[in-house]
Amino acid sequence: MSTELKAVSQDFLPFTRPSIDEATISAVGDVLRSGWITSGPQVREFESQLSAYCGGRPVRAMSSATGAMEVALALAGIGPKDEVITAALSWVCTANVIVRAGAKPVFVDIDPVTRNIDPARIEAAITERTRMLLPVDLAGLPADRGRIYEIARKHSLRVLEDAAQSMGSNWGGVRIGVSGDLVSISFHANKNITSAEGGCLVLNDAEEARRCELWRLQGVERFPDGGYDATLPGGKHNLTDIAACIGVGQLKRLEEFNQRRHALARRYFERFDRSLGCELPPEDFTHTNWHMFQIVLPRQMQRADFIRAMHAVGIGVGVHYPAIHLLSFYRAMGFKPGDFPHAERIGAGIATLPLFPAMREQDVDRVCAQVARILNRS
């Protein structure tokens, strides 16, 4: 571990914390002093390094993974009367971007083991209006790319991979982002690498990348004489050089960070009391980057009570995520309890325990001990 990954305070252990080294902090200072702080040379460098990481595919940096998905939907021509199939358990952004494109989100229940979209249920959700599959890699564990792309090919559908959480994961030994259709990745502060805020979209060819640039920044194409034209109603999704500079520093350490996450996840499996009645995540050390370590609490334990009790002993707990279709906006669209029972049950009891590179083994032991103490009291 690098010297800046200092021991976490015993006062409070958050469920996540970014690790940013002094070299990156110094480089950000250089960017600020340069006077060029919006999209510029650092963004180009970050995109070049991301492209190399993704096997030479074109990659365009974005101000968020949400923006990357919005642009991806526009590139695929998704609009009114179209349907996009996605998982019922994810960050609400996954469905919101479909709605904002004017399309209809069609939820599919999850596999209760992987907690990702259940491929066996996808085809039953396909209609004549289906245009895209939007699978989600929950906690960094990849959704079943083999079956998803088989279905997409059979029905002539585009695929947008919500790989927000799976930077450094792989499917069949191939890095997420190296293959597939459109791939959206997040660099939010809680991800395996961060640019503070930001994300990227992995694209298929140079022409798609060019159109992505138009959608990313107001549809504007500039000319050598200083003039410009706007050829489509693009948005404002460009990444700053400040953020890109952080990303460049972080990308160098992705493998280091993920190896540490693997070690901490192994420790959780070794020390967690399996008699407590919790559902642990799949014990996968081949495909996932261990973005999060999530348990599903036993039914008798109210999650709010569990979170309060953990906070009282100085340990942070996250909730990722409630089932999307039970949120007010989506209930108003006609979704209701009972529609997707696996997503509902897991979404009601899932809890994210601390996992980030600066943690120590004794931090994991502390978390496991407190979880056992609290659940044994319930």
Q: Mean pLDDT over all residues of the chain? A: 96
What does pTM read for this prediction? Answer: 0.95
Q: Which residues have CB under 8 Å from 192's CB, separation 6+?
A: 140, 165, 167, 168, 254, 257, 258, 261, 289, 291
Structure tokens at 230: 């706007």
Among 246, 249, 213, which Cα is nearest to 230's?
Answer: 213
Residue 209 exposure: Cα atoms within 13 Å on the Cβ side = 15
Q: Which residues have CB under 8 Å from 144's CB, separation 6+?
A: 114, 116, 119
pLDDT of residue 232 exceeding 60 = yes
Model confidence at 4, in pLDDT bands (50, 70, 90)? very low
pLDDT of residue 3: 37
Which amino acid is located at 314 in the chain? Answer: G
CB 151 within 8 A of CB 123: yes
Model confidence over 301-360: pLDDT tens digits?
Answer: 999 999 999 999 999 999 999 999 999 999 999 999 999 999 999 999 999 999 999 999
Model confidence over 33-83: pLDDT tens digits?
Answer: 999 999 999 999 999 999 999 999 999 999 999 999 999 999 999 999 999
CB 87 within 8 A of CB 288: no
| Cα–Cα dist 83/133, whole Å | 9
Q: How many CB atoms lie within 10 A of CB 17?
A: 16
CB 134 within 8 A of CB 162: yes
| Cα–Cα dist 28/37, whole Å | 9
Per cent of the chain over pLDDT 70 is 97
pLDDT of residue 265: 98
Cα angle 369-318-94, degrees, rounded to a multiple of 5: 145
| Cα–Cα dist 53/50, whole Å | 5
Model confidence over 133-145: pLDDT tens digits?
Answer: 999 999 999 999 9
Among 358, 56, 25, which Cα is nearest to 179's?
Answer: 56
Cα angle 369-371-372, degrees, rounded to a multiple of 5: 65
Model confidence over 95-141: pLDDT tens digits?
Answer: 999 999 999 999 999 999 999 999 999 999 999 999 999 999 999 99
| DSSP designation for 280 | P
Average pLDDT of the segment spanning 277-296: 97
| Cα–Cα dist 135/150, whole Å | 13
CATH numbers and ranges of domains, the chain: 22-251 (3.40.640.10), 254-377 (3.90.1150.10)
Structure tokens at 122: 């996808």
Q: Which residues have CB under 8 Å from 175's CB, separation 6+?
A: 53, 54, 55, 168, 169
- Residues taking part in catalysis: 191
| DSSP designation for 139 | G
